[in-house]
């Protein structure tokens, strides 16, 4: 049987005992690395670790109720279908939407591409009059921000190329926050779609969603939210946020890889033409034509990632039972601790807001005189796992005149003691390469 998680946190965060109980749920956190060093995992922005309840849920599905969903008339098929749709219910509750507004996808990138290619299909005449609001052409504009992950930029570049629309973007302030003061000039009457992230995967800056949604509504534009970085770390109610579409992935929210979700307002999903076609997403098929199933099945062609969806549902419930206000409060403390750690080391600069206000515990930084990949290697020698590179956000890095950063990103299972290990390791990076604290070359 799948385990359940008892509520642990409060709106003030997690106590030491509660945090210890959380960490006990994640077997990989006990890893000992080379030279006997304990793992300090600060790469949760790339992918999160998985609690036992998620691992058990996937194994339970395969060992107890593995069958094709929505097809068989036998008991296993019924149980598999119930588990699959039950997971959809869990994810929908977690983000504050109706179950039929959640479409399973392979990841968040696939979810965003689903919307982009569906709009291409609408432009090509598929979907009829109901899909007219998704049609794009020359003179129409798509607006993104300079902070976007490539997954929320490249699909819109391609959509513009396919339809003749123009891509525009909102720039960034020097602290990495979006220039919302340019909304009135960049998002105008020609804007048909505004796509933006809820929180940057590089700077950690949280977007003022209400401000962007309000402007989009003023001009009648659709909104697409990349919620990958917010859903695991903040209380997120997509209905209350008022966005039209949102994408997020399972593996960043303590769930399995290979599964994600697209949220779409029901009336929009009903009007949006499908992209992938074939089995499971149809009602009537003749040799001449096909009628499609209602959403969300209309967008779920073929055999789905059932066990992974079950795991994602359990991950959503795990976080919900912890209490997202408690998770956010705990990670707010971690954000300030990470910022303080970086600030305490000479010649290390943060890319993004330097105070833990409207930002996540995701901190990208540059060590003067040392390439980000070398920084990551030195930290790894101390058992500290961080991400290095451009983090699939080359335009953002280019905006600040750099090609790469190192990034430390926390999650609900991260401790202040781990942040201190990170600080100590970071303080030795320049010395490792023979650079002095005053910026000189000590070799």
Residue 1: per-residue pLDDT? 31
pLDDT at 437: 64
How far is the C-alpha of 1 from the C-alpha of 209, rounded, in Å? 40
Compute φ and ψ for 435, nearest 5 degrees. Answer: -100, 135
Domain residue ranges in the chain: 16-50+324-430, 59-320
Active site amino acids: 392
Does residue 8 carry a pLDDT above 70? no
Q: Is the dihedral of CA 205, 209, 210, 213 positive or negative?
A: positive
- What pLDDT is stored for residue 438 in this prediction? 64
Calculate mean pLDDT across residues 355-381: 98
Q: What percentage of the chain has pLDDT greater than the value 70? A: 96
Residues 133-177: tens digit of each pLDDT:
999 999 999 999 999 999 999 999 999 999 999 999 999 999 999
- Kind plus residue range of the DSSP H or E element containing 104: strand 102-105
pLDDT tier at 5, thresholds 50, 70, 90? very low
Task: Label residue 330 exposed, middle or buried (CB < 10 Å: 0-12, 13-18, 19+).
Answer: buried
pLDDT at 130: 86
CB atoms within 10 A of CB 21: 15
Burial class for 288, CB neighbours closer than 10 Å (0-12, 13-18, 19+): exposed
Quote the pLDDT of residue 208: 99
Separation CA 89–CA 181 (nearest Å): 38
* 303-340 confidence digits (pLDDT tens): 999 999 999 999 999 999 999 999 999 999 999 999 99
Sort 167 into a burial class: Cβ within 10 Å, 0-12 / 13-18 / 19+. Answer: middle
Q: Is 414 helix (H, G, I), strand (E, B) or coil?
A: coil
Q: Which fold has domain 16-50+324-430?
A: 3.90.1150
How far apart are alpha carbons 286 and 1 in whole angstroms?
A: 43
pLDDT digits (tens, 9 = 90+) for 77-91: 999 999 999 999 999
* Range 59-320: architecture per CATH: 3-Layer(aba) Sandwich (3.40)
- C-alpha distances (whole Å) from 142 to each of 46, 192, 246 are 27, 6, 16
Angle at 257 between CA 253 and CA 259, to 5 degrees: 85
pTM above 0.85, yes or no: yes
Per residue in 222-260, pLDDT tens? Answer: 999 999 999 999 999 999 999 999 999 999 999 999 999
Whether residue 390 contacts residue 403, with contact meaning beta carbons closer than 8 Å, is answered with: yes
């Amino acid at each position: 049987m799948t385990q359940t998680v008892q509520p642990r946190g409060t709106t003030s965060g997690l106590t030491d005992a509660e945090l210890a109980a959380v960490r006990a749920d994640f077997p990989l956190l006990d890893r000992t690395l080379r030279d006997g060093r304990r793992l300090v995992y600060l790469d949760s922005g790339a992918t999160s670790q998985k609690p036992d309840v998620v691992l058990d849920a996937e194994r339970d599905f395969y060992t107890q109720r593995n069958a094709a969903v929505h097809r068989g008339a036998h008991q296993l098929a019924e149980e598999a279908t119930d588990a699959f749709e039950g997971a959809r219910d869990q994810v929908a509750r977690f983000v504050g939407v109706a179950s039929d507004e959640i479409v399973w996808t392979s990841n968040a990138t696939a979810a965003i591409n689903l919307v982009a290619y569906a709009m291409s299909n609408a432009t090509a005449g598929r979907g009829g009059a109901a899909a007219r609001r998704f049609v794009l052409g020359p003179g129409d504009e798509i607006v993104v921000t300079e902070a976007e992950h490539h997954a929320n930029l490249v699909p819109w570049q391609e959509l513009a190329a396919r339809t003749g629309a123009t891509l525009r973007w909102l720039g960034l302030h020097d602290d990495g926050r979006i220039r919302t003061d340019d909304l009135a000039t960049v998002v105008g009457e020609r804007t048909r779609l505004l796509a933006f992230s809820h929180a940057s995967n590089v700077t950690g800056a949280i977007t003022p969603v209400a401000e962007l949604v309000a402007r989009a509504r003023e001009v009648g534009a659709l909104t697409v939210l990349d919620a990958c970085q917010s859903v695991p770390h903040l209380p997120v109610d997509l209905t209350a946020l008022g966005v039209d579409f949102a994408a997020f992935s399972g593996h960043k929210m303590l769930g399995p890889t290979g599964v994600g979700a697209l949220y779409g307002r029901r009336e929009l999903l009903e009007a949006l033409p499908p992209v992938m076609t074939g089995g499971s997403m149809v009602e009537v098929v003749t040799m001449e034509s096909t009628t499609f199933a209602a959403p969300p099945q209309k967008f779920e062609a073929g055999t789905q990632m059932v066990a992974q969806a079950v795991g994602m549902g359990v991950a959503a419930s795990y976080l919900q039972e912890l209490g997202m206000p408690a998770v956010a409060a705990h990670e707010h403390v971690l954000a300030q601790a990470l910022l303080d750690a970086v600030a305490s080391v000479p010649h290390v600069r943060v890319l993004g807001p330097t105070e833990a206000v409207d930002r996540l515990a995701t901190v990208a930084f540059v060590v003067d005189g040392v390439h980000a990949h070398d920084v990551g290697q030195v930290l790894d020698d101390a058992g500290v796992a961080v991400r290095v590179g451009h983090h699939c956000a080359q335009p953002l890095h280019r905006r600040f005149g750099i090609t790469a950063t190192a990034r430390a990103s926390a999650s609900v299972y991260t401790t202040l003691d781990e942040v201190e290990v990170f600080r100590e390791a970071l303080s030795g990076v320049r010395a490792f390469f023979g650079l002095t604290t005053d910026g000189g070359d000590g070799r």
